[in-house]
Amino acid sequence: MKRTSALARLTPSDQYRLLALAEYELANKPTGAASRWLERARPEQLAPDRAHRTWLILAGRAWGKTTTGSHGVNLAVRQGRAHRIAVVAPTLADVIDLCMRALREAAGPEAIFSASGHPRLRWPNGAEAMGFSAEDPDSLCGYESDFAWSDELAAWRYPEEAFHQLQFGLRAPGARQIVTTTPRPIPLIKAIMTDPTTVVTRGSTFDNAANLDPATLRYFEARFAGTRLGRQELDGEFLDDVEGALWNRGAIDAHRVSAAPDLVRVVVALDPAVSSAENADETGLIVAAKGIDGHGYVLADLSGRYSPDGWARRAVGAFRSWGADRIVAEVNNGGDLVQETLRTVDPVIPFRAVRASRGKRARAEPVAALYEQGRVHHVGSFPALEDELCAALPEGGSGPDDRLDGLVWAFAELGPGQEGPQAGTRDGEALGRRVWWCQQCDSGFQWDAGRLCPVCLFPAPETFDTALLRPPREQPRWPSEPPMNALVSARWRRR
């Protein structure tokens, strides 16, 4: 058979694959890993032949996003198109454990990895890939590159800030980038998708079935098929707002901030799961605060699948690292065990047990209303939490809502939106407007109906009585020695 007719019988995707292989072989001394990738890559895993600045891959879990990104970088290096490459991932651990590891595999043994300073990989031709954590957008300032790879963009804490810093540096003539991510309808991804210099590739987990464990795929299908989570995480669908959901992305995005103001209260809210089995519910663990402006701020979403000891350690760790005032935990499922488990980690941790008497959604609605009014702000992005919120229907939905529960408990405790101290005053003065001086030990603490004095446990008045509110003295007064009481005020420790 003549070669030309043999070529004509190939499918368009095989023709494309052959062309890419030939181009590569012509331009380079082939290396084992790169050639092997060109042979086994699915056509949609090879860089598009259309001119582009950004190749955006929106695909389900385990589609091969990281593998495609790493081989895409390596091929660009071997073809002489990339010399200074920025590699950005959600955290530094992701940069090293996922991206740099995949790049090393793609680049082969002659590329040298160094972890000192920014993680970096150097190819024999002098090209260098430098790793950056998206948690620290400023670290990208001043790094000039001709190629970039952003992995899991939708999971970045500060996607806009980090991606824009990356774009300022990606300015060599003909610069290109690969963005690989599970799709989430965040504004940045929508903007990249509609940019005329972007080529988009879509895909589902099942496209990569030949390389995945069949039992795992069956489990994914059984557990997630047809659910919103499954449509997004497996099918790679780009799901917008759910009609009638309690939260909508527009309201969260509109009031998102990159830093919180001074905080008057911080709480860690915990909704513990009864089991840590692989298919059990997650433990909701949210750190939230009330700012000096009276608004609510979500500071961290540490939810996940933990053993009881695991969630207790995480909650106590969060309490300490955020200088929180207390942990609030739903005890409907765990009863006294929840408190006991927390106390095994820290016997003096300020703790409040809460029990759900009303339906979940009835509790959630006032919190959702505060978002609508712009009185709750997310400090950075919390993709998994935001997915849950924006899928929650008033009548209850089939999706998970463990993070949502944690969030609702946090704001039930904080009561954002109530009139708070005025912004712009000095911290002490501002606090003084709502500080109550305990009648027993004369310590100052923020008034909150039905609470105990955090130092001596003397009860605060049930209703706020301005007669008890002394004009702020120099500052709220705190005892000079640590109180020996079990409920040591975290604020006392923070002084």
Ligand X SMILES: Nc1ncnc2c1ncn2[C@@H]1O[C@H](COP(=O)(O)OP(=O)(O)OP(=O)(O)O)[C@@H](O)[C@H]1O
Tell me whether residue 64 or residue 169 sits nearer to ligand X (CB atom): 64
CA atoms of 4 and 24, how far apart (whole Å): 20
Q: Taking CB under 6 A as the criterion, which residues in 48-67 touch ligand X?
A: 61-67
CA atoms of 156 and 163, how far apart (whole Å): 9
Tell me whether residue 65 or residue 375 sits nearer to Mg ion (CB atom): 65
Q: Taking CB under 6 A as the criterion, which residues in 165-224 touch ligand X?
A: 208, 211
Does position 42 interact with ligand X (CB under 6 A)? The reply is yes
Least distance CB 64 / ligand X (angstroms): 3
Among 31, 45, 54, 66, contact with Mg ion (rule: CB under 5 A): 66
Least distance CB 189 / Mg ion (angstroms): 16
Residue 36: name its binding partner from ligand X, Mg ion, none (Cβ under 5 to 8 Å by kind). Answer: none
Query: Which segment (64-72, 131-139, 182-190, 349-357) binds Mg ion by CB under 5 A?
Result: 64-72
Query: Which segment (65-73, 114-122, 339-347, 438-446) binds Mg ion by CB under 5 A?
Result: 65-73
Give 459's contacts (C-beta < 8 A, 6+ positions apart). 450, 451, 452, 453
The tokens 């582009």 sit on which residue?
Answer: 52
Residue 67: name its binding partner from Mg ion, ligand X, none (Cβ under 5 to 8 Å by kind). Answer: ligand X
CA atoms of 129 and 75, how far apart (whole Å): 13
Q: Smallest Cα–Cα separation from 406: which of 284, 272, 268, 275? A: 284
The tokens 């948690």 sit on which residue?
Answer: 135
| Structural tokens at position 106 | 């793609």
Least distance CB 97 / ligand X (angstroms): 11
CA atoms of 325 and 349, how far apart (whole Å): 9
Residue 311: name its binding partner from ligand X, Mg ion, none (Cβ under 5 to 8 Å by kind). Answer: none
Tell me whether residue 45 or residue 165 sits nearer to ligand X (CB atom): 45
Does position 101 interact with ligand X (CB under 6 A)? The reply is no
Least distance CB 66 / ligand X (angstroms): 3
Among 24, 34, 38, 45, contact with ligand X (rule: CB under 6 A): 45
- For every residue of 427-459, which 3-state class applies, written as one string? HHHHHHCCEEECCCCCCEEECCCCCECCCCCCE
Query: Which segment (34-42, 318-326, 435-443, 451-459) binds ligand X by CB under 6 A?
Result: 34-42
Q: Compute the Cα dihedral for 356, 362, 366, 372 and give only its sign.
A: positive
292 and 430 Cβ atoms separated by less than 8 Å:
yes
The tokens 């995949």 sit on which residue?
Answer: 102
Residue 60: other Cβ atoms inside 10 A = 24
Residues forming the site for Mg ion (CB under 5 A): 65-66
Residues forming the site for ligand X (CB under 6 A): 40-42, 45, 61-67, 208, 211
